[in-house]
Amino acid sequence: MGLSKEELARLETKAHDLRHSIVNTVLFAGSGHIGGALSALDIMVMLYYHFMNHKPGDPHWEDRDRFVLSKGHAGIGFASILADLGYIEKEQLKTFNLTGSKLGIHLDSNRIPGVDASTGSLGHGLSIALGMALAARQLKKNYRTFCILGDGECDEGSVWEAAMAISHFRATNLVTFIDRNQYMIDGNTEEVMKLEPFAEKWRAFGFDTLIINGHSFNELHTAIEHALVASEKPVAIVCNTVKGCGVNFMEGNYKWHYGAINEDVAEQCHRSLDQYYEKRVQEKGA
């Protein structure tokens, strides 16, 4: 069963508000990994506001679903979600990446409630997520584990070691997302280190691999519903996304992988995000 119109509208509004929060947080910090945070946001919104079992008031609840943001540099988006849900105070976002703050560019699981794994050193999150999935099996727990990788991160050999192990152990309680925004810090992924044929690589490693629009809540919903009932193969969801999604002058521009903004640029971002939201609403969240 698909998303209701009311639920789709709720998710669209939530994503819109969080995009504004990301821009504000980058402004507070002076700079940040804004491009990849905006590309991965809709995946995180779909998980945290619709699918995942979690309790902001009890972040260590043993039956919670686990989440690993392997592309840890998108933590500015993750932090905005944690603040919105009440894991941390919203005022903390004003301290993001400032000296002495608990909120660094890469979120620390020892300091931030709701963070299941400290990431940032690329290529390791999928192995951590596999460990969580295997622990659930060993402990006879029903929680699911979700992991988001960056496409540039998939240049790391350790990603493919993890993929091989996930398939070998048939860890179907782990769902892998790849934020396929086509860009990394040095430029286009195909120019830096060719990934294509990308989906076929995951299939060759034994994954049931889906390719979707990572900004469509309907497509995300359908893909995740499929993944949660998979029993034969683990599922990888290649999410075609746009770097800097929602901010027209950042979209598809690797120079906004990490960038600095001032109040004038932030205002331009907010105007563009409002236009982007209005267009999505008119298209009924296509």
pLDDT of 282:
87
Torsion (CA) 87, 180, 152, 271 in degrees, nearest 10: -60
Q: pLDDT grade, residue 263 (50/70/90)?
A: very high
pLDDT digits (tens, 9 = 90+) for 23-67: 999 999 999 999 999 999 999 999 999 999 999 999 999 999 999
Interhelix angle 157-168/125-138, nearest 10 degrees: 20
Distance CA 143, CA 265 (A): 42
Phi then psi for residue 226, to 5 deg, are -60, -45
**Burial degree of 238 (CB within 10 A; 0-12, 13-18, 19+):** buried
Q: pLDDT grade, residue 284 (50/70/90)?
A: low
Q: Which 8-state DSSP code applies to residue 213?
A: E
pLDDT digits (tens, 9 = 90+) for 139-178: 999 999 999 999 999 999 999 999 999 999 999 999 999 9
Q: 5-282: which CATH number, 3.40.50.970, 2.60.40.10, 3.30.379.10, 1.20.58.480?
A: 3.40.50.970
- The model's pTM is 0.97
Could you tell me which residues come within 8 angstroms of residue 35 by beta carbon, excluding any fewer than 6 positions away? Answer: 181, 183, 243, 244, 250, 253, 254, 256, 257, 258, 259
pLDDT of 75:
97
CB 280 within 8 A of CB 11: no
pLDDT of 190:
98
Rg (alpha carbons) of the chain, rounded to whole number: 18
